[in-house]
Amino acid sequence: MKKQVCSSALFVSFLFLATLCLSIEAQTCKPSGNIRGRKPPPNQCNQENDSDCCADGKLYPIFKCSPGVTGRTKATLTLNSFEKGGDGGAPSECDNHYHSDDTPVVALSTGWYNHGNRCLNFINIHGNGKSVKAMVVDECDSTMGCDSDHDYQPPCANNIVDASKAVWKALGVPESDWGGMDIYWSDQCRPSGQIRGTNPPPDQCNQENDSDCCKDGKYYTTYKCSPLVSSHTKATLTLNSFEGGGDGGAPSECDNQYHSDDTPVVALSTGWYNHGSRCLNYVNIHGNGKSVKAMVVDECDSTMGCDSDHDYQPPCANNIVDASKAVWKALGVPESDWGEMDIYWSDA
């Protein structure tokens, strides 16, 4: 368990500023203008997937921005063919290639496309009770349209994930319902950087539960995010003592208290800890054919480590549920096997 050290005042200030920034971002995403539609010449608007064609004289709003991206960004999923001759038109912007309808690829509205910054990266798409990973290969232009370059189709709305047939199939949507559907999406969680390890001073790294100690010169990966939470979130269960003098170090972040090894409590990786939003809430943990409910009391810091504040232990991986002995006992794991185990968890 690695502690995130900050004062309450700094945390509140950060939370306020983050909320303010998101609010401002949402408020400033307004139409940047309008374009007037033109009737397409004969055979110049491909309606393969029921795509709209511009209507002569109709005004269409345009956007240079999209809603702010979060861990659960709401969007409208639409249908597009990225194949040659499909309603997607020219080759994809990111790689100048066409893509098969059987490949899960998407185009994003201009703001989310962000000048190509998401090109060839993967995003997670969730809808219809299922999920799929798709690669960003193109822009769904929210700034222009109704011309030959855009197949005489209107500008995209600013909240579009324009997806291949493979995405719709993976989400289990009946073909008769393909076209438009409310979904949410998120970026794939990638490392935020690295920190260089230093050897701990004597007796400064508690290895009570076989905890790792940092090694001098070794680089450790850091994360500001964790995989998206679902009803079956995969994770690695690790062992930690939340007692005074245990390998958890300082009191728990959520309540500034120590907790008995006989109490089912956990620390979550930084992304799942989510600035304390799960503090003192319960999660369901499933593993070894059994289940247990445990309370979130701390953060397993994925962003920092290898210093005195983190007991000279490396940063947590981004998929850790760091659990007390009581959790391992409740799951019926023999004590000789305590340490690491694949599990899944969900919010209770």
Per-residue pLDDT of the chain (348 residues; tens, 9 = 90+): 444 333 334 333 444 444 433 333 334 689 999 988 888 788 777 666 667 888 888 999 999 999 988 878 999 999 999 999 877 678 999 999 999 999 999 999 999 999 998 898 889 999 999 999 999 999 999 998 888 777 778 889 999 999 999 999 999 999 999 999 999 998 888 888 999 998 888 877 877 677 789 999 999 999 988 887 878 899 999 999 999 887 767 899 999 999 999 999 999 999 999 899 999 999 999 999 999 999 999 999 999 999 888 888 999 999 999 999 999 999 999 999 999 999 999 999
Q: In whole angstroms, what is the distance from residue 310 CA to residue 1 CA?
A: 8
Tokens encoding 250: 């300082």
| Tokens 């490949």 belong to residue | 103
Do the beta carbons of residue 273 and residue 299 sit within 8 Å? yes
Sign of the CA dihedral with 116 first, then 117, 122, and 125 last: negative
Task: Write out the H or E segment, with its range, that includes residue 80.
Answer: none
Q: Could you tell me the maximum CA-CA distance found in the chain, to the nearest angstrom?
A: 80
Do the beta carbons of residue 142 and residue 96 sit within 8 Å? no
Compute CA distances 100 → 77, 82, 106, whole Å. Answer: 18, 7, 11
Q: In whole angstroms, what is the distance from residue 84 CA to residue 279 CA?
A: 51
Global pTM value:
0.58
Residue 82 dihedral angles phi and psi, to the nearest 5°: -95, 10
How many other CB atoms are there within 10 angstroms of residue 1's CB atom?
30
How many other CB atoms are there within 10 angstroms of residue 215's CB atom?
15
Q: What pLDDT is stored for residue 11 in this prediction? A: 38
Q: Look up residue 250 and give its DSSP letter.
A: S
How many other CB atoms are there within 10 angstroms of residue 56's CB atom?
10
How many other CB atoms are there within 10 angstroms of residue 71's CB atom?
18
